Amino acid sequence: MERKNHSEGGTAVRAGWPWTGKTIRLASASPRRLALLQQVGIEPQVWPVIIDEHPRSGELAEHYVARMAQEKVRMALDPGADFALGADTAVVLNDTILGKPADAGQAHRMLTLLSGQRHQVLTGVALYRLHNRHGLTRVVATDVWFKELSTQDITTYIATGEPMDKAGAYGIQGIGAFMVRRIEGSFSGVVGLPLMETLAMLSELMED
């Protein structure tokens, strides 16, 4: 495992929250997770990491996303911040994890499978307080229903390039919203970081 170049920046959270004055390190290069944290007033240190993201043989999806989140955050425990945050998102259809497509053909196959179906989006979140290495891990599940997709729908969407870096080959916060009939659960969790649960974890660790 190795860590990519990272930003030593990161400013404290805005006043008014229990974690005011604390610095949070985000063990991710995801622009979506960064934007979600910024949405609630957090400007994290961005600390991209590289890990082996292959599921283990027979590994359940909820165990997989929890393990990925934990492995990411463990690579961001160096001094220089108050908290370290890692997250991982998987799209799951009939107990099968759909990762990020390797090419357009794989994206087409994934979207064809999801067409007209209900699937789950699981996001594992791991949050550690650095001074005592006390951590919490949660998995948040959201049900997502897709409309029936035509071949033209799928081909046109893939041509936008949006599916290529996203689990399950779609982005609910982007053009991919046209495929989503409804959801039950955390919208931000589908995007990549369930905000309500993450902030609740942060509040809990503040009591340490």
- Specify the pLDDT at position 6: 56
| CA-to-CA separations, 124 to 57, 113, 168, in angstroms, rounded | 19, 23, 16
Note the pLDDT tens digit of each residue in 17-67: 777 788 999 999 999 999 999 999 899 999 999 999 999 999 999 999 999
| CA-to-CA separations, 103 to 100, 165, 169, in angstroms, rounded | 9, 10, 10
- Specify the pLDDT at position 10: 59
Residues 6+ apart with CB under 8 A from 153: 178, 179
State the DSSP code for 200: H
52 is catalytic: no
Spans in the chain with pLDDT lower than 70: 1-15, 208
State the DSSP code for 179: G
Residues 6+ apart with CB under 8 A from 36: 188, 191, 192, 193, 195
Q: Which candidate in 78, 82, 88, 165 is catalytic? A: 88
Measured distance CA(171)–CA(58) in Å, rounded: 27
